[in-house]
Amino acid sequence: MRIRSTAARVTTATSAGLLSAVLVAGCGSDGDSASDDGASGRSSGPPPAKVVEAANQKTVQKKTAHLSLKTVVAQGGQTVNVDGHGVIDLRDGTSSLEVGEGGQRLEQRVVDEVLYQKPPKEAAAQLPAGKTWMRIDVGKLGAAGGGQLGDPADTLAFTKGVSGDGVKKLGREKVGGAATTHYRVTLDVEKLAKGDAQQEKELREQLGEDVPVDMWTDDDGVMRRMATQLTIDPPKEADAGGKAKVKTTIELSGFGTEVDVEAPPAAKTEDVTKKVAQGGGAAL
């Protein structure tokens, strides 16, 4: 199964970079509603911005977790529904996931900031003889070619720079059986670019001025769900079928689970970093 290049890169970014602040999250509330202190104007506990700022450290302190994701990419009259599940080391981003659409599944690993994907048999036929895995060096990708494929451990790094007026408390909800508080965060593209002027320019062209993120934290301040809904304008040089609408929801559970992940044998991998950086996308 092939999808248009931008949709492919978005799907790969979501599942590999997992909780990348640029591409993951925000379709609003889909949990079980409870009281809504934020909507009624009442306030209790620490200020919302403080909770969001602390979520990074408190989540990483859990060390490891089970992870599930759901992504919908709509582009050029085509819709791709991707789901995945697996485990992740929240400290360094090491992860192992099974990701795909319907019966088309791929195995995915992130080790030492390198993404490995083992595509289904049909897509694997496009690889050279003897190769069963694709290798993408995330660190070598620029913003235009897939820089959103970030380190999963950097998932919540954006929370360190949020301002008080950029966070809104929406209420209490259940996520995976846990009581949580739902927050909406508006991220500034300038902060996302981390001082990289070229990346900031490209992000503004593709994402607009602001990036909305919804997140749910439990009573210990640990993130349980993150969601985004974005309209991404692909690079002008990419023949990608117009803007892509991306909805993604990621949930964490089972903290402390064992994460034992190794890179595939080098002899079985084909490096496609350059192809992805040039807009070649990825196969599912």
- How confident is the model over 88-129, as pLDDT tens digits? 998 888 899 998 887 788 898 989 888 898 988 777 778 888
- Answer yes or no: is pLDDT of 252 > 50: yes
Whole-angstrom CA distances from 35 to 40, 75, 171 are: 9, 37, 6
Q: What is the pLDDT of residue 256?
A: 96
Q: Give CA–CA dist 214/183, Å, rounded.
A: 6
Question: Is the predicted pLDDT of residue 258 greater than 60, yes or no?
Answer: yes
Distance, CA of 133 to CA of 122 (rounded, Å): 13
Give the pLDDT confidence score for residue 99 in this predicted structure.
Answer: 85
- pLDDT value at residue 275: 81
Q: Is 259 or 231 the better-scoring residue by pLDDT? A: 259
User: 3-state DSSP call for residue 204?
Assistant: helix
Residue 169's pLDDT band (cuts 50, 70, 90): very high
- Kindly indicate the confidence band of residue 69, based on its pLDDT and cuts at 50, 70 and 90: confident
Whose structure tokens read 């070229």? 198
Cα 63 to the chain's mean position, in Å?
A: 18
What mean pLDDT is predicted for residues 37-49?
A: 60
Cα–Cα distance between 91 and 63 in angstroms, integer? 6
| Domain extent listing, the chain | 5-83+154-260
Per-residue pLDDT of 192-229, as tens digits, reads 667 778 877 877 776 666 677 899 999 999 999 988 87
For 60, list phi and psi in degrees, rounded to 5: -60, -30
Mean pLDDT within 143-169: 55
pLDDT reported for residue 1: 37
Q: Which of 89, 107, 109, 78 is nearest to 7 (CA)?
A: 78
Query: What average pLDDT is seen over the chain?
Result: 74
Neighbours of 242 (CB within 10 A): 12
> Which band of pLDDT confidence, cut at 50, 70 and 90, is reported for residue 151?
very low
Kindly report the CATH number that applies to the domain delimited by 5-83+154-260: 2.50.20
Write down the pTM of the prediction: 0.75
